[in-house]
Homo-oligomer: A and B are copies of this chain.
Amino acid sequence: MKAPHPPLDGITVLTLEQAVSAPLCTRHLADLGARVIKIEHPAGGDSARHYDGAVRGLAAHFVWLNHGKESVALDLGVAEDRALFTGLLELTDVVVSNLAPGALGRLGLSPAGLVEEHPRLIVVDISGYGTGGPLDHKRAYDLLVQSEGGSCAITGRPGEPAKSGIPIADVGTALYAFSAVLTALYDRERTGRGTVVSVAMLDVIGEMMGFALNQVLHAGAEPEPVGMGSPMVAPYGAYPTADGHTVVLGTTSDREWRRLASDLLCRPDLAADPRFVRNADRVRLRDELDAVLRAWCAERDLADIQRRADEAGIGNARLNGVRDLARHPQLADRKRWREVDSPVGGVPALLPPVISPDWNVRAGRVPALGADTDAVRAEVAAATGCTPETQPSPATTRRESRR
């Protein structure tokens, strides 16, 4: 056995990021052991710092997405700060950005130009709608891309579309960007060269909508949202129980339907009823079957229903709130919680979802804005062989000329 190690040890990531997509991508790089240096504007930094003050004054989103990173406060429009950024690039393997459309270009940091100058560099450019097309430069917040991408239309109830509570356009984009960095690192091991990778949020939603697109492209019917049900199978849904909980259960196949009817509901008549034998018919008669399940569940306690469903081999779950997830025994018993440090002290955080006995997870602190600026400045000065105070360099010259 090799000793457990952080697989991205030795990799340095420079990130020009805000909000959710790039920050989640780079947090997972930090989890795997990369050094992540978050460049923030000195005037307020990442906008997510100010979403709320839920975590003893820190923002819930910011704490979720930024532990394990360093924060360096730089105004890239100012020569001295720009020189530090340029120096940092020499130490960098990966640049990630999700700034507003055109912002990188206005800073004179075109992804292609960066890689031309630094052939081993990997640059990941996250955008809302990609390059070209009528929406090219449009603002792209999660809800906007969920709406544009059609995913709200298959969520909620008919006539009452809803966004996914999980910011799926942001989170999905983060995970594709994360995979892009990993692919490029692997490729660099074999070719010796970096690359530019682009990920657009609309393309991410498009990918995730692949099943619904196929239904529309070929079968023609616009899918309807079905609340807690499934458009594909029936019966399947959320049913209140006698003890005030809600159970979610249903069938995914004709065979499961027969088990559900005969073994769980003790209704061999339903299992044998030719009207319900085929899933397509059950989907059509969804309301009738929902009423049967609703009545059956209303007379029983949650634990009783779940035990019986398990015995009958019928998938089931409890409809949980966020508080239930926070104290879910399946997370606690498997020791999925840890503590990370922050400017307001230790805060709980879940371990990342990918587990290997051979890999360590790095637990780092949530950085205050600019917490690492001085240290990184000194480090770059040392690495470039000159301290700004004693030895003029092109960088310091530009800074001086600006004063």
Chain A residues in the interface with B (C-beta under 8 A): 2, 5, 7-8, 28, 32, 47, 50-52, 54-56, 60-61, 63-65, 129-135, 138-141, 143-145, 147-157, 160-166, 168, 171-173, 175-180, 182-187, 189-191, 193, 195-200, 202-219, 222-223, 225, 227-230, 232, 236, 238, 248-250, 252-253, 310, 313-326, 328-331, 333-334, 336, 347-359
Contact = CB atoms under 8 A, between A and B. Distances in A.
Contact of A225 (B47, B144, B162, B314): B162
A308 to B, nearest CB: 14
Nearest to A350: B206
B161 A160 contact: no
B161 A164 contact: no
Question: Oligomeric state, in number of copies?
Answer: 2
B147 A248 contact: yes
Contact of A329 (B133, B171, B179, B185): B133
A189 B189 contact: yes
A232 B52 contact: yes
A135 B355 contact: no
B315 A139 contact: yes
Given A186-B186, A205-B325, 5 more contacts: A143-B228, A152-B228, A153-B320, A162-B225, A213-B326
B214 A60 contact: yes
Contacts of A148: 317-318, 320, 325, 328, 330
B63 A324 contact: no
B186 A134 contact: no
B320 A7 contact: no
Nearest to A115: B358
Contact of A210 (B65, B164, B209, B228): B65
A320 B199 contact: no
A353 B71 CA distance: 29
Contacts of A166: 151, 154-155, 164, 168, 205, 208-209
A179 B227 contact: no
A16 B78 CA distance: 55
A351 B198 CA distance: 13
Given A54-B218, A156-B156, A248-B144, A206 B163 contact: no
A85 B345 CA distance: 52
A304 to B, nearest CB: 16
A227 B162 contact: yes
Nearest to A7: B187
